[in-house]
Every structure is written in C-alpha cells, then in structure tokens.
Chain A
Amino acid sequence: MMFESLSAFMHMGGHGAFVWSAYGIALIVFGYNVVAPIRHRTSMLREVRQRLDREAQ
C-alpha cells in the first residue's frame, strides 16, 4: 500500500479531486453500460410478448 492513512489516500498528494473525479466518471460510464442493457432487455421481452399476443389474435 502506497498510503499511510485514509486521509492521505483521499488527498492523493493534493490531486485528490482529479484522481477521484476520473474514477468516479469511469464508474458512472461502466454502471450505465451494465444497467442500460439489462433494463432494455426487460422492456424488450415485455414488448415482444405484447407483439406476439397481438399477432395471435
């Protein structure tokens, strides 16, 4: 471990804002890329079922 304390880890030698915002934005982009296709799949499955029901009638 390169840091002696949690506050040193957060501080990042005075560049905490830069390092943490870069990792934060990366987390948001990755999170979106996981959540969006899963939600899309759920709504798509519903839509496909509706389409099939409509066409069955």
Chain B
Amino acid sequence: MWNWFHKLGSPKTFYAISGSLLPYFCVLAGIMLVAGVVWALGFVPPDYQQGHTVRIMYVHVPSAILAQSSYMMMAAAGVVYLVWRIKLADIALQCAAPIGTGLTFLALITGAIWGKPTWGTWWVWDARLTSTLVLLFLFVGVMALRSAMSGKASAGRATAMLVLVGVMNLPIIKYSVDWWFTLHQPSSFSLTEKPSMPPEMWMPLLVMVLGFYLFFFCVWMLRIRTEILNREYRSRWVRELVQ
C-alpha cells in the first residue's frame, strides 16, 4: 500500500496512469452533464411555489458542493505536501485553485440569479452567502500568493499553509444555515438523511453533482499533467515525450 502510494506520487507514473484513464472520465463527465442538463431543463416538474426557477438549483447546488469539495481536496493536497513533501501534491494544490475559483464564482452568481425571483433580492450579507464569498477570496488569494512567490523554494509551503488556515471557513459555510438565522435555506442534500424532495427532483440533481465531480477531476488532471511537464522538463522521459 505504502509502496503503491509512493509510486503514484512519482510524476512519471502519475502522468502515464492519468493519461490512460482521462479519456474515459472525460466521456463519462460529458454524458452525465448532458443528461443532467436535459433532464433538469426539460423534464423536472416545476416547483409548486417557485415554478420554473427551481431549474436553477441544478447548476447552483452542484457548483456550491464542488466549490467546497475542491477546497477540501486542495487542503488534503496541502497536508500531503507539508507532511511527506511529495511534489505532486504541490502541483495538485496549485492546479485546483483556478478551477475552484470558477466554481465558487458560479455558485455565487447562480445563487444571486435564483435569489432575485425567490427572495426578491440579488444579494444579502447573510452568513451562508458571506462565508461563500470568503471562500472565493481564499481561492483567489491562493493563486495570488502562488504567482507572487513563483520560483521561490518556499512557495509550496507558504501556499499550503494559507490553504490550511482557510479550511476554518468550510465548517462555517456548512453550519451557517443552522448557527445563524439566515435567508438561505438549509442543505437540500445530506449523506445521512432521506432527501426532502421527491425522486423526480433529486435524481437529476444527483446526476448533475456526479457530472460536476467528474468534470472537476478531468480538468484538474489536464492542468496537473501540463504542470508535471513544466516542472520535470529536464528528466529523460519528458524530453523523449516532447521531442
């Protein structure tokens, strides 16, 4: 197990394995997303209170879940890098930040678009919304710190530390709807409880969440593979690959 972990941590092995798996994951992500969007836009019954605006949920909820998940994965990579000094973990951390930024932005903007017809306002400084905005700033901060320190040996450690400090924000986002009186409704999805929605509403949501996860992994791998070539360009296997 330990041996296997170390082997996968080697850039060369990782590059080979990810390269052979990536096409399948991309196709699967595409199928899930197309199926999810068609289902959500055309076949989900309109909500009895919200009408057709409920369709926004199928973009908003998955992007909000992925925004937090991608930060969590980035933090896990940070721990691996700080403890074991595996270079690949540093690459993974760096490559997750721009994707997470996009997903957090998407969660905020679709939330605003959904909020206008349902709450009557685009934005409120409510705990859920504000802590998600902080998440966006954390992602941007990680990218900014990274580019400001580029080339320095301590860049990896500094960004990993920043990411770990920011992890504090995740439980705040998660429990904000329970701790404070918020305009935002409580979680629509939970791993432990039965969904409060009928199956014809949560099934397409599940497809979309899976599609978003697969999509995240695919574009994450794309970025990681490019960054491996950038950092390992002197090694023999990269030289043989590019020439």
Contact = CB atoms under 8 A, between A and B. Distances in A.
- Decide whether A and B assemble into one complex: yes
Interface of A: 1-3, 9, 12-15, 18-19, 21-23, 25-26, 29-30, 32-34, 36-38, 40-41, 44-45, 47-49, 51-52, 55
A48 B233 contact: yes
B242 A26 contact: no
A12 B55 contact: yes
Contacts of A44: 226, 229-230
Interface string B80-124: 000000000000000000110011011001100110110000000
Interface stretch (B40-48, B126-134, B172-180, B184-192): B40-48
B207 interface: no
Interface of B: 33, 37, 41-46, 51-53, 55-56, 59-60, 63, 98-99, 102-103, 105-106, 109-110, 113-114, 116-117, 215, 219, 222-223, 225-226, 229-230, 233-234, 238-239, 242-243
List the 8 closest pairs (A to B, CB-CB), nearest first.
A37-B222, A12-B52, A13-B52, A41-B226, A48-B233, A22-B56, A26-B59, A22-B110
A52 B222 contact: no
- Identify the interface centre among B105, B110, B234: most chain A CB within 10 Å of its CB: B110
A23 B171 CA distance: 28
7 contacts: A9-B41, A9-B42, A25-B110, A34-B219, A36-B98, A44-B226, A48-B230
A22 B113 contact: yes
A29 B243 contact: no
A41 B222 contact: yes
A48 B238 contact: yes
Contact of A40 (B33, B117, B226): B226
Contact of B44 (A2, A45, A51): A2
Nearest to B216: A33
A30 B214 CA distance: 12
A48 B238 CA distance: 9
Contacts of B59: 22-23, 26
A52 to B, nearest CB: 6
B102 A29 contact: yes
A47 to B, nearest CB: 8
Contact of B114 (A12, A18, A41): A18
Given A49-B243, A52-B233, A2 B43 contact: yes
Contacts of A38: 222
B52 A37 contact: no
A26 B99 contact: no
